[in-house]
Amino acid sequence: MRNLGSSNGSGLSTDEIEDEEMARMAIATFQAREEEIERKKTEVKERVELQLGRAEEESRRLAQIWEELEVLTDPMRKEVAVVRKKIDMANRELKPLGQSIQKKEREYKEALEAFNEKSKEKAQLVTALMELLTESERVRMKKLEELSKSIESIQ
């Protein structure tokens, strides 16, 4: 059992106050990390969306060029086809990246929910512990008073 004798008047011992402060600091650190992760995730998502937009724009431009080349039967037709195939490949590679982002977002939300549930459970357990300690202290004080009265009645 913790040192119940050294309390600061609020019913909490120095160790309990330090534990509480450490828990607050840990939560603050976690929240700061969580915000940093969210910020980085948003940055990556924006970059991927920007890249997707560029790729789509390039694909449209190349399709337009392709149509013009069909009309002209330009000697550079093969080079354009090669570039277009590369753009199509880039588009295919971007799709799984977007899916990966969505999967990681779901995993992050699930982990955050589990963390929040455990934090809530911990808080409930701390509250129950404090109630038990308070009740134990009250019962011991009552017993000490009874023993003190018994000693006084003997004298």
Supply the pTM of this predicted model. 0.37
Is 4 a member of any domain?
no
| CA–CA distance, 96 with 105 (Å, rounded to integer) | 14
Is 89 a member of any domain?
no
Is 114 a member of any domain?
no
Is 40 a member of any domain?
yes
Say if residue 4's pLDDT is above 50.
Answer: no
Tell me the per-residue pLDDT of 15-57, one tens digit each, with 9 for 90 and over.
888 888 888 998 989 899 999 999 998 999 999 999 989 989 9
Tell me the per-residue pLDDT of 62-87, one tens digit each, with 9 for 90 and over.
899 888 777 776 667 788 889 999 99
Is 23 a member of any domain?
yes
Is 41 a member of any domain?
yes
Is 138 a member of any domain?
no
Task: Check residue 68 and give its pLDDT.
Answer: 79
**Which region holds residue 80: left if phi is over 0, alpha if psi is between -120 and 50, else beta?**
alpha
Mean pLDDT of the chain: 87
CB 83 within 8 A of CB 61: no
Please tell me what DSSP assigns to residue 7: B
Structural domain including 50 reads 15-75
Number of domains comprising the chain = 1
Is 143 a member of any domain?
no
CB 96 within 8 A of CB 47: no
